[in-house]
Amino acid sequence: MRYTISLLLVLFIVVESKGQTLLDSISLTQKKTFRNLTDALTQPDSVFKLDLSKQKRKEMPESIRQLKNLQVLKFSRNKLAEVPDWICELQNLQVLDVSYNDLKSLPDSIGNCSQLVFLGLNRNIIETLPRTIGRLEFLQVIEMWDNEVQYLPDEIKHLHNLKTFELRGILFSKEEQDQIHDLLPETEVLFSPSCNCKN
């Protein structure tokens, strides 16, 4: 439910990009969600939304690279240990949800997913974000609650369109929370109560 609401709030109006169309939330709602990769690959140019959640997958299939019009990729509740470097080849990707996996980090190439507006990372074991995250000028929502975050790079200060940063369920001291607020003064940053339990 939270994912759906966030998606409706953050997707952009239709714009043209390198001859391809980025769809708004209403247009995307009208597109078919493919839940079987084999079916999707029979008509790759018609695939705008792909949901491979809850399939016990340990890797993101490389054949997804063929889906050049893909704008929503849900890969939550699998056993994914890493997001592949080639994710940046999906140049129209607006929504990436890899929540509830076994991710410890994201690749530097995530910073080249230039159209990304929603990044779902809940319930992983991520310790930090790559510095390249600061390149995502259109990013509006990061959901990252219940991870193992030790620090966040100063480059998050470049996320000028970030509206919501969900960090609940992560242990931060009051000083660390204040530092994040200072980097993102216009963003709603959601924390659990601060603690002094980190050594």
Q: What CATH number is given to the structural domain containing 139? A: 3.80.10.10
Considering the domain boundaries, does residue 195 fall inside one?
no
Asked if residue 40 is part of any domain, the answer here is: yes
- Mean pLDDT across the stretch 73-102? 98
Torsion of CA 100, 162, 169, 107, to 10 degrees: 50
Q: Residue 25's pLDDT is what?
A: 83
| Residue-level pLDDT at 24 | 87
Q: Is 183 inside any structural domain?
A: yes
Specify if 94 maps to a domain.
Answer: yes
Residues 112-131, mean pLDDT to the nearest whole number: 98
Q: How many domains does the chain have?
A: 1
Residue 198, in any domain of the structure:
no
pLDDT at 179 over 50: yes
In a domain, 197, yes or no: no
Gap between the Cα atoms of 197 and 34, Å rounded: 44
Predicted confidence at residue 9, as pLDDT, reads: 45
Angle formed at CA 24 by CA 55 and CA 167, multiple of 5 degrees:
60
Question: Domain residues for 78?
Answer: 2-190
Asked whether residue 199 is domain-assigned, the answer is: no
pLDDT band at residue 177 using 50, 70 and 90 as cut-offs: very high
